[in-house]
Amino acid sequence: MKPKSKVLIIAGSDSSGGAGIQADIKTVTALGSYAMTAITAITTQNTTGVKSIVSIDSKEIFKQITFTCQDIKPDAIKIGMLHSSKVINSVIRALNKVKISKIVLDPVMVAKGGTRLIDNKAINILKNKLIKKATLITPNIFETEILTKTKINNMEDMIYAANILLSKGANNVLVKGGHLNTKTVNDVFVNKNEIKIFKNKKIATKNTHGTGCTLASAITTYFSCGKPLKKSCELGTKYVNHAIGSKLNYGKGYGPINHLNSIIIYKKFR
Ligand code: PXL
């Protein structure tokens, strides 16, 4: 088969292959699209934690985005780990230059084991400048609390916080509810016109490393193929749920999910 669309991924590398750019490339590929990359940082890690983080020079990140897009124009862009204000400003300048309208932003803040992947100054620029550039922002509960300075205990709190993000200039928000203590996983999609809740069954496992990266990439891929944004979010949550459900059980810590499980999803949903 030929790829259905082209996706540019702006994110950090995860040497363990479960999250970051590795999860993104696998997801985009497994869902039948062509993946291009701009690497923002290199993390040395395995399933038990992050050992070190090396930054890529912000000028180099700008060049990876603009030079790549100048030749092969992506249908959509997925943004993951951006660890400093310099990097975020550089990404904003590059986005202004390449003018791609479909942008999904996963506001990555900490790795599964708790290591910070972004500094405080960068969080402010992300909140005040970058979220306006994105078609969709996909924060988890913790990231939503940081971005909105609220405390989230339930679905009403998620919707309230999503509306704060809209008032700050976000266009569409998907608050991921996986960290709440609920019977099902409830992800909440909110924009100025509607609220939609996607429910998936909760799977008892510690192997959920990279679920956020994977979800944002899956949504970006469906969206890049022409599916409406809300539908792309619904399909993305199903893809991740099936990938968690296939229980790889690799490594001694928080293991990866099975990106390849999508082959079944592909037949079922596309
Ligand atoms: O899942 C968040 C994330 C994003 N990007 C990189 C990561 C991680 C988590 O470990 O390593 C590069």
Instruction: Spell out the residues 6+ positions from residue 180 whose beta carbon is closer than 8 angstroms to its own.
Output: 141, 152, 153, 154, 186
**CB–CB of 121/84 below 8 Å?**
yes
Using only C-alpha atoms, the chain has a radius of gyration, in whole angstroms, of 17
Q: For residue 125, which phi and psi values (nearest 5 degrees)?
A: -70, -40
Q: Which candidate in 29, 43, 138, 208 is catalytic? A: 208
Q: Is the CB of 108 under 6 A from ligand 1?
A: yes
Q: Is the CB of 81 under 6 A from ligand 1?
A: yes
Q: Which candidate in 27, 211, 221, 237 is catalytic? A: 211
Does residue 153 sit in helix, strand or coil?
coil
In this structure, what DSSP letter does residue 57 have?
Answer: P
**CB–CB of 239/210 below 8 Å?**
no
CA 243 – ligand 1 centroid, Å: 17
For 141-268, strand residue ranges (E) read 173-175, 184-190, 195-201
| CA-45 nearest atom, ligand 1 | 11
What domains does the chain contain, in order, with CATH numbers?
6-260 (3.40.1190.20)
So what's the pLDDT on residue 112?
78
For residue 42, count CB atoms less than 10 angstroms from its CB and return exposed for 0-12, middle for 13-18, buried for 19 or more. middle
Nearest to 81 by CA among 150, 21, 142: 21
| CA-13 nearest atom, ligand 1 | 12
Catalytic annotation on 144? no
Q: Which residue bears the tokens 């997925």? A: 78
Q: Is the CB of 14 under 6 A from ligand 1?
A: yes
Catalytic annotation on 210? yes
Q: Is the CB of 217 under 6 A from ligand 1?
A: no
Q: Is the CB of 106 under 6 A from ligand 1?
A: no
Q: For residue 230, which phi and psi values (nearest 5 degrees)?
A: -60, -45
**CB–CB of 21/211 below 8 Å?**
no
So what's the pLDDT on residue 54?
96
Q: Is the CB of 74 under 6 A from ligand 1?
A: no
CA 225 – ligand 1 centroid, Å: 25
So what's the pLDDT on residue 268?
61
Tell me the mean pLDDT per 10 residues along the chain, length 270.
95 98 97 97 96 96 98 98 96 98 96 85 95 98 96 97 98 96 95 97 94 98 98 97 92 95 60
Catalytic annotation on 211? yes
